[in-house]
A and B are shown apart, each in its own frame.
Chain A
Amino acid sequence: MSRLHDKLLREASEETLRFITRRHFLLDCVTGLGAAALGSFLTSCGSSAAAGPDFSADPMAPRAPHFPGRAKSVIYLHMAGAPSQLELFDYKPDLQKLHNQLCPQSLLEGKKFAFIRGVPKMLGPQAVFAQHGESRAWVSDHMPHFATMADEVSFLKAVQTDQFNHGPAQLLMQTGSARLGRPSIGSWVTYGLGTENSNLPGFVVLTSGGKTPDAGKSVWGSGFLPSVYQGVQCRTKGDPVLFLTDPEGMDRNLRKQSIDAINDINRQEYETFGDPETMARISQYELAYKMQISVPDVMDINKEPAYIHEMYGTQPGKESFANNCLLARKLVEKGVRFVQLYDWGWDSHGTDENLAIDYGFRNKCREIDRPITALLKDLKQRGLLDETLVVWGGEFGRTPMQENRDGKDTPYLGRDHHVEAFTMWMAGAGIKKGFTWGETDEIGYAAVKGKVAINDIHATILQQLGFDHEKLTYQFQGRPFRLTDVGGHVITPILA
């Protein structure tokens, strides 16, 4: 081991020396002096609110939040494509009365829609609703299992966004900004809390539905935060994490030696340049080495008993939302901070059968109904729901109007993107049980009471983890940035 180690070290130092010329030396002298002077200025007037971790140590070491949080972990279930709130939770009998009538001008004036052109027809609710549980919450017959959990969750009926296209809306939902470059919620959380289990990533992403979200992998990117905080995508088919297994002929011992040698060189590199990305690289190598053992273990659902598989409706080896829900429970149980699920296929425009409110949408509902219910019940029986925040939602809602793409009727029933009101729910970790906040008008078009903005959702997630969302900041481009930007109010009515 030591021979390989020494050889690599020697090569690296020779490499470095080769680049240091007389000019570099002189330049170093000058800038070094200046930097020293500047450094003393900066520390003397530096802000005391340096919330970030010390990068010279392990950037993934567990850290304490601002105040004791109610949630240790978050499971965020994102229905990519945006499910229709009008067929699931937001019951509008009056909309049925207007079914097939032309949409009144007042609803269209000054509004822009992604696809609706001209005057569309109204589309009544395409589901049968009933009230459930002691909370008498409305849930449609599309989610018969979930309906039994009505007394466990807090519904947010009047969430609003300002982006009506999937990509920007998903970015806004997951990073707080409709444009690229901001860290995702999970990145902020691991930046703030580190990871409890040092053998697993702090932020894991699981996708289903055959596609990644429209906005691409930026929705779990770390933006300007060091890249160690970005989400680690795990696959349910084949290797859970790509390129994690050792190549043929390399044993684990040799792997360990090479990683140690590389890390030593990187540490010297960090001492010279102080770039936090170097530390990120070191901890990523170390984590990857540990993950070679821990990830296949935690990602293996074969060992789960049959009744658990039956409850979730899981089929090992397949890429499915059900498998991901079971994995989410397993990961949270092992101390993973943030598990992000994306399920693609909710964009029910009515343009084809899979994207039809009356066909594909119902099939999607079936695919999530049992797993989500099983997830909540499973977390509950293990005593985990008390410390795990579960968030469900899409990136926007859907119109009470039947979509008429380019002024023509679509072949199936469908609804267009809608930004003014949609439903999300949260459960567990200090969130009220069996509660509804917010209201929409008689046809579910506009939010009337209890409006919730996207950064209110973020503020609330951070709040439950123990963060003051205004104080979890990162210094970038000369100013502190935060997940909630300049907005965000904690949705106090839903806090128990």
Chain B
Amino acid sequence: MKILAATGNWNLFIGRIHPLIVHLPIGILIIAFVLALLSRSSKRAGLRAALPLLLLAAALSAVASCVAGYLLSLDGGYDEQLLNTHLWLGIGVAVSSTLLWLLTVAPAAKRLARLELPLFALLLVLVSAAGHYGGSLTHGDDYLLQAMPPALQSFAGKKTVADNEAAYTNVGDARVYEDLVAPVLSTRCYGCHNARKLKGGLRLETLALIREGGEHGPVLKDSMPEESELFKRLVLPDNDEHRMPPKGKPQLSPREVELLYWWIAQGAPTGKTVKELKPNPRIQLVLEAMTPGKALDHNEFVPEATPSAPDKKSIEALEAKGVKVLPVAANSPFVAVSCVNAPDFSDADMKLLHPLRSQLVWLDLSGTRITDAALADIGQLSALTRLELKQTAVKGSAATPLTGCSELLYLNLSGTACTPAFLTALTKNKKLQQLYLYQANPDAHTLKQLRQQLPKLTIDTGGYRLEPLASDTIIYKRKTV
């Protein structure tokens, strides 16, 4: 199957020069218009001499553009109506610029001199209109509108799209075609495969249209992604001319490609949810990663909520103590606090953290002089997800639980003498996922209890050893005889 009719096709070759030469008459006409205006002042009347030559060049290049444009249109794949408008506007430009040229050179046309400026104005309108429709043909209708800043968009009368709130919260409930596949096709493929721009005679807006296929036949073979053009072309090398989306256009992400593969392999169904299709663990991972909020910039250690920005003065007070306070990301209200350069940080300083209670998510107090008295203060830090208390004098007790830190996911108590009662009280931190107790001598009973109560919790007590192996000492040498 060949996409180009034949190699060395003159028509198409000349046709594809159209986007290049089409800019010549535009530029030349604008210059000519400016010169014509300027030459009206007696001081610059000399500029008129340039007009005939410029207009001749404009007329010739406009005619050439029309010819090349016509040849390009033979390739097909354009919206008929849009194409016709563009075609006639283009011819209009060629004809009127020729007329205008005649007006400037023919001695008989002296009487018609007053027609010159109106004709110029008409010409500029024609050029602009032809250019606009030409742009719509190549880039699609809403090419400019899409890129418009929101403020301008509402001015231009575009409805602001309701935010992309997903119709599902759990990916298992998402409908595979409607909620997952169609949005991918919509952002990556519709641009060239829609009712107005039918590249390859193919439309992808609905499943029925996808099944209809294009001018080269069907693009979808149920349950056979490797045989389906809809998948095959996504994974061709970048520089292959059949690759889709073509080189230079925004590409599908690897996850989106995997999704399409899986959907076709399942027989390209509609109306089925992910759960109903029983995804294997691999595709489950892919789908979960694609769910909103699982984007590349997502970090499970940062809450979804958006508190107010942290108080500058309280940050300065901490920094004066040598404590590092830093937003977890540019423009994020959440902060991380590290005492790596403040080993003298003590219980008395803990109150400095209070004003940051709804913003402080990562707190590192390792190696500081804090004691159990600090636990009550820590308990007030309700947004905390990561807490490091390594190598501190904290022991804790049943009476000083961290229940206030309901979002806590990570707790490091390595090198502390934490009590069993304190550890048992952690069962109230339902979200806790990681607990580090290296050199903290936890007793087996407490650990068992914790594991039973919090099945999702990983506890690392460390103390790893590497068994000595024979290979540790074998030195490979050529045997000398």
Interface residues of A (CB under 8 A from B): 62-70, 141, 144-145, 196-199, 307, 310-311, 313, 334-335, 353, 358-360, 362-363, 366, 369-370, 373-374, 377-378, 380-383, 386, 463, 466, 468, 489-490, 492-493, 495
Docked complex Cα distance between A313 and B465 (Å): 11
Q: A67-B299, A145-B466, A311-B464 are in contact. Are A383 and B472 (CB under 8 A)?
A: no
Q: A68-B301, A196-B324, A492-B296 are in contact. Are A366 and B329 (CB under 8 A)?
A: no
The 8 nearest A-B residue pairs measured at CB: A381-B462, A67-B297, A383-B436, A68-B299, A68-B328, A377-B464, A383-B412, A381-B438
Q: A67-B297, A144-B469 are in contact. Are A383 and B253 (CB under 8 A)?
A: no
Number of interface residues of B (CB under 8 A): 43
Docked complex Cα distance between A374 and B471 (Å): 15
B341 touches A199 (CB 8 A): yes
Interface residue B10 (Cβ < 8 Å from any Cβ of A): no
Interface residue B254 (Cβ < 8 Å from any Cβ of A): yes
Docked complex Cα distance between A6 and B233 (Å): 74
Contact of B464 among A313, A381, A492 (CB under 8 A): A381
8 A-B residue pairs with Cβ-Cβ distance under 8 Å, sorted by A, are: A66-B297, A335-B340, A377-B466, A381-B464, A382-B462, A383-B460, A386-B410, A386-B434
A374 touches B340 (CB 8 A): no
Interface residues of B (CB under 8 A from A): 253-255, 289, 296-297, 299, 301-302, 324, 326-330, 332, 334, 338, 340-341, 388, 390, 410, 412, 414, 434, 436, 438, 460-466, 469, 471-472, 474-478
A359 touches B478 (CB 8 A): yes
Docked complex Cα distance between A65 and B297 (Å): 11
Query: Which residues of B have CB within 8 Å of A386?
Result: 410, 434
Query: Which residues of A have CB within 8 Å of B464?
Result: 311, 377-378, 380-381
Docked complex Cα distance between A358 and B476 (Å): 8
Smallest CB separation, A263 vs chain B (Å): 19
Docked complex Cα distance between A380 and B466 (Å): 14
A307 touches B477 (CB 8 A): no
Smallest CB separation, A337 vs chain B (Å): 12
Docked complex Cα distance between A145 and B326 (Å): 39
* Most interface-central of B301, B338, B340, B412 (chain A CB within 10 A): B340
Smallest CB separation, B400 vs chain A (Å): 21
Smallest CB separation, A53 vs chain B (Å): 12
B332 touches A68 (CB 8 A): yes
Query: Which residues of B have CB within 8 Å of A67?
Result: 296-297, 299, 329, 332
Query: Which residues of A have CB within 8 Å of B334?
Result: 68
Q: A145-B466, A311-B466, A492-B289 are in contact. Are A196 and B340 (CB under 8 A)?
A: yes
Smallest CB separation, A64 vs chain B (Å): 4
Query: Which residues of A have CB within 8 Å of B327?
Result: 64
Contact of A383 among B324, B332, B388 (CB under 8 A): B388
Contact of A492 among B254, B328, B461, B476 (CB under 8 A): B254
Query: Which residues of B have CB within 8 Å of A70?
Result: 299
Docked complex Cα distance between A70 and B329 (Å): 11
B254 touches A64 (CB 8 A): no
B295 to chain A: closest residue by CB: A67
A371 to chain B: closest residue by CB: B466
A463 to chain B: closest residue by CB: B296
Docked complex Cα distance between A52 and B434 (Å): 35
Contact of B341 among A144, A197, A490 (CB under 8 A): A197
Q: A67-B299, A145-B466, A366-B472 are in contact. Are A62 and B324 (CB under 8 A)?
A: yes
Smallest CB separation, B286 vs chain A (Å): 8
Query: Which residues of A have CB within 8 Å of B253?
Result: 492
B324 touches A381 (CB 8 A): no
Docked complex Cα distance between A294 and B297 (Å): 35
Docked complex Cα distance between A61 and B189 (Å): 45
Smallest CB separation, B343 vs chain A (Å): 11
B341 touches A198 (CB 8 A): yes
Smallest CB separation, B260 vs chain A (Å): 15
Docked complex Cα distance between A69 and B289 (Å): 16
Smallest CB separation, A182 vs chain B (Å): 24
Q: A67-B297, A67-B299 are in contact. Are A335 and B436 (CB under 8 A)?
A: no
A362 touches B476 (CB 8 A): yes
Docked complex Cα distance between A45 and B105 (Å): 45
Smallest CB separation, B64 vs chain A (Å): 34
A366 touches B460 (CB 8 A): no
Docked complex Cα distance between A140 and B22 (Å): 63
Query: Which residues of A have CB within 8 Å of B462?
Result: 380-382
Query: Which residues of A have CB within 8 Å of B436?
Result: 381-383
Docked complex Cα distance between A196 and B313 (Å): 21
Docked complex Cα distance between A381 and B463 (Å): 7
B478 to chain A: closest residue by CB: A353
A67 to chain B: closest residue by CB: B297
B289 touches A64 (CB 8 A): no
Query: Which residues of A have CB within 8 Å of B340?
Result: 196-197, 334-335
B475 to chain A: closest residue by CB: A363
Docked complex Cα distance between A353 and B289 (Å): 48
Smallest CB separation, B417 vs chain A (Å): 17
A307 touches B329 (CB 8 A): no
Query: Which residues of B have CB within 8 Å of A313?
Result: 472
Docked complex Cα distance between A215 and B341 (Å): 35
Smallest CB separation, A166 vs chain B (Å): 23
A490 to chain B: closest residue by CB: B296
B296 touches A382 (CB 8 A): no
Contact of B471 among A144, A463, A495 (CB under 8 A): A144
A68 touches B329 (CB 8 A): yes
A65 touches B330 (CB 8 A): yes
Docked complex Cα distance between A358 and B478 (Å): 9
Docked complex Cα distance between A313 and B472 (Å): 9
Smallest CB separation, B300 vs chain A (Å): 9
A64 touches B329 (CB 8 A): yes
Q: A197-B341, A381-B462, A382-B438 are in contact. Are A366 and B324 (CB under 8 A)?
A: no
Docked complex Cα distance between A383 and B416 (Å): 14
Extra 10 A-B pairs, beta carbons < 8 Å, given A377-B464, A383-B414, A492-B296: A62-B326, A67-B329, A68-B297, A358-B476, A359-B476, A378-B464, A381-B438, A382-B438, A383-B390, A489-B254
Q: A67-B329, A370-B472 are in contact. Are A383 and B434 (CB under 8 A)?
A: yes
Smallest CB separation, A409 vs chain B (Å): 16
A437 to chain B: closest residue by CB: B254
Docked complex Cα distance between A378 and B439 (Å): 12
Contact of B390 among A382, A466, A468 (CB under 8 A): A382
B466 touches A373 (CB 8 A): yes
Q: A383-B460, A493-B254 are in contact. Are A370 and B299 (CB under 8 A)?
A: no
Smallest CB separation, A324 vs chain B (Å): 17
Q: A363-B475, A381-B438, A490-B296 are in contact. Are A311 and B465 (CB under 8 A)?
A: yes
Query: Which residues of A have CB within 8 Å of B301?
Result: 68
Query: Which residues of A have CB within 8 Å of B332?
Result: 64, 67-68
Docked complex Cα distance between A69 and B326 (Å): 13
Smallest CB separation, B81 vs chain A (Å): 39
Smallest CB separation, B439 vs chain A (Å): 9
Smallest CB separation, B316 vs chain A (Å): 14
Q: A383-B434, A492-B255 are in contact. Are A145 and B469 (CB under 8 A)?
A: yes
Docked complex Cα distance between A369 and B192 (Å): 53
Query: Which residues of A have CB within 8 Å of B476?
Result: 358-360, 362-363
Query: Which residues of B have CB within 8 Å of A381?
Result: 414, 436, 438, 460-464
A369 touches B471 (CB 8 A): yes
Query: Which residues of A have CB within 8 Å of B410?
Result: 383, 386
Smallest CB separation, B232 vs chain A (Å): 15
A382 touches B414 (CB 8 A): yes
Docked complex Cα distance between A386 and B434 (Å): 9
Smallest CB separation, A84 vs chain B (Å): 15
Docked complex Cα distance between A360 and B475 (Å): 9
Docked complex Cα distance between A366 and B414 (Å): 31
B329 touches A466 (CB 8 A): yes
Query: Which residues of B have CB within 8 Å of A374?
Result: 466
A366 touches B297 (CB 8 A): no
A69 touches B299 (CB 8 A): yes
Docked complex Cα distance between A363 and B299 (Å): 41
Query: Which residues of A have CB within 8 Å of B478?
Result: 353, 359
